[in-house]
Structure 1
Amino acid sequence: MDGAVVVVTGGTRGVGAGIARAFLRAGAQVVICARHPPPEPVGAARYLPADVRRPAEVQALLEQVAAEYGRLDVLVNNAGGTPYHPLDAAPPERHARILELNLTAPLLTSIAAHRLMSAQPGGGSILMIGSVSGSRPSPGTAAYGAAKAGLEHLARSMAVEWAPLVRVNTLVLGMVRTEAAQTHYGGRAGVAAVARTVPAGRLAEPDEVGEAAVFLASERAAYITGAGLLLHGGGERPAFLAAANVPPSTEG
């Protein structure tokens, strides 16, 4: 990725910062964007403010990147997330905002990036950061799960429409060890308990997500487009096995 120009939305902390650091290690020039500056520098990544829910801000950001760096090689649509809100415990507008952040924003940002990538030699690569919540029930985060399901479908459609110049793939994440995970799962003890439900025995590290992102964006993945790469440590052990008290070592 030497010299490649990469934009990571929501790249100031957590998974986004891990992705930015991985691209930096691979030799890329990295621009991170978010509504607020990072709490601490993310390596040598350059921070530019932008709210991805506002198309005009996204367009201005990408035009600035193209003007100053000469091209845009990789867009990572990482910005997203959700608080815990059962469907009947929050106003509909709140759920709609979750859909806007996690589905509409990546759609509009990708379209803006495609305009630049399709006009330059070598095209480019767009990477969606999906979630296993898009393929299983997500009680308490239903709008988020629906958005992530739509995001994978969107990426597959983009991959067909924009081939061969622009590749579009999805990195489908399970649980990742971030500060937000500690808050969500009730501190270190909660994270440790959740980790025991993962076949790999732990949560992913943000930098591991970054390494997978670099691979999908690189020339080593030149024939991969419209794909979803699962990064979930083996997924979830089926609940019926736990209910039947079947120990992990006897499964199969």
Structure 2
Amino acid sequence: MGLHGKVAVVTGGTRGVGAGIARAFADAGARVLVCARRPPEMPVGGVEFAPLDLRDPPAVHAFFAALPRLDVLVNNAGGTPHRRLTEADAERHARVIELNLVTPLTASLAAHPHLRRARGSIVMIGSVSGSRPSPGSAAYGAAKAGLESLARSMAVEWAPEVRVNTLVVGMVRTELSHLHYGGEQGIAAVERTVPLGRLARPADVGAAAVFLASDAAAYISGAALPVHGGGERPAFLDVATVTEED
């Protein structure tokens, strides 16, 4: 799955999952360029940084137009604060949808001419939140559901020159996990709910992204690959009582 000589752009690749993806592409031999509003606190070896606000379409188009070549685009930038629907107005929720759905579309359209020439690929970083209820991040879940649908349509419209796939990512342990899960004790409790017994690491997501971008996946397009450690144990199994009669 070597990517020697390839050029990859990872949006939002300065920390967490994005940094893990960027590192995986660099380790696979690609030239990697990450773009985000702020530079990384801890630069990744072999990875270049370019400042870019992905919510600024003219800036996004100028950024991609200036690249001499592009083989892979990883649409990773996104995220959301925990916010119940009634705790904000529609405009604030719309900004979450813009970041997680509209900006990947903007970047993909800007990158398309390069990717078509290179017969390259796009990897969308989706989420299990797009396929299950997502209380506290409903707009984010809706955007991720839309992102997976968008990828499937792109895969048809842009074939055969450009392959488009989605990684459906579950819970990942990053430098901010303690804020979401209540410290190490909370993380350990959450990990017990995952069939494989742990949260994903950014490197796990990076390895899956490299696979989808490589020649090993040359006949895979329009796919959604779960990276969630086996999913979530159905809640009813923990509360149901089975009575066996002799």
Give the TM-score range, shorter chain.
Answer: over 0.9
Find the aligned partners of 1:46 and 1:81 in 2 and give their Cα distance.
Answer: 22
Question: Deviation digits for residues 179-208 of structure 1, max 9, x if unmatched?
Answer: 222211111111111111100110000011
Which of 220, 223, 227 aligns to 1:227? It is 223
Find the aligned partners of 1:219 and 1:113 in 2 and give their Cα distance.
Answer: 20
1:60–1:235 distance in 2 versus 1, CA, 3 Å: same
Aligned ranges 1:187-226 → 2 under 5 Å:
187-226=183-222
SS at match of 1:129: strand
Find the aligned partners of 1:112 and 1:142 in 2 and give their Cα distance.
Answer: 28
SS at match of 2:96: helix
SS at match of 2:205: helix
Instruction: Determine if contact 2:17/2:202 at 8 Å carries over to the other structure.
Output: yes
Find the counterpart in structure 1 of residue 131 from structure 2.
135
**Percent of paired sites with the same residue:** 68
Find the aligned partners of 1:181 and 1:128 in 2 and give their Cα distance.
Answer: 22
Find the aligned partners of 1:57 and 1:242 in 2 and give their Cα distance.
Answer: 50
Q: Which amino acid aligns with 1:35?
A: R
Instruction: Determine if contact 2:22/2:32 at 8 Å carries over to the other structure.
Output: yes
Find the aligned partners of 2:210 and 2:241 in 1 and give their Cα distance.
Answer: 40
Aligned ranges 1:163-202 → 2 under 5 Å:
163-202=159-198
Find the aligned partners of 1:76 and 1:198 in 2 and give their Cα distance.
Answer: 26
Find the counterpart in structure 1 of residue 30 from structure 2.
28
Find the aligned partners of 2:63 and 2:40 in 1 and give their Cα distance.
Answer: 17
Find the counterpart in structure 2 of residue 41 from structure 1.
43
Question: Deviation digits for residues 182-237 of structure 1, max 9, x if unmatched?
Answer: 21111111111111110011000001110100000001100000000000000000
Q: Which amino acid aligns with 1:42?
A: V
Gapped regions of structure 2 (runs ≥ 5): none
Find the counterpart in structure 2 of residue 79 from structure 1.
77
Instruction: Determine if contact 2:65/2:110 at 8 Å carries over to the other structure.
Output: no
Find the counterpart in structure 1 of residue 115 from structure 2.
117
Q: Which amino acid aligns with 1:209?
A: V
Q: Which amino acid aligns with 1:195?
A: E
Find the aligned partners of 1:19 and 1:196 in 2 and give their Cα distance.
Answer: 25
Structure 1's consecutive aligned runs of 4 or more residues displaced over 3 angstroms after TM superposition are: none
* TM-score normalised by the chain length of structure 2: 0.95
Instruction: Determine if contact 2:7/2:70 at 8 Å carries over to the other structure.
Output: yes
When the two structures are aligned, how many residues end up with a matched partner? 240
Find the aligned partners of 1:127 and 1:93 in 2 and give their Cα distance.
Answer: 28
Q: Which amino acid aligns with 1:33?
A: C
Find the aligned partners of 1:48 and 1:56 in 2 and give their Cα distance.
Answer: 15
Q: Which amino acid aligns with 1:52?
A: L
Find the counterpart in structure 1 of residue 18 from structure 2.
16
**1:115 offset after TM fit, Å?**
2.1
**1:58 offset after TM fit, Å?**
1.2
**1:245 offset after TM fit, Å?**
6.1
Which of 156, 159, 172 aligns to 1:160? It is 156
**1:61 offset after TM fit, Å?**
1.6
1:105 aligned to 2:107? no
Q: Which amino acid aligns with 2:7?
A: V
Q: Which amino acid aligns with 1:244?
A: A
**1:91 offset after TM fit, Å?**
2.0
Find the counterpart in structure 2 of residue 240 from structure 1.
236
Find the counterpart in structure 2 of residue 249 from structure 1.
none
Question: Deviation digits for residues 139-177 of structure 1, max 9, x if unmatched?
Answer: 010000000000000000000000000000000000000
Q: Which amino acid aligns with 2:88?
A: A
Find the aligned partners of 1:129 and 1:117 in 2 and give their Cα distance.
Answer: 18
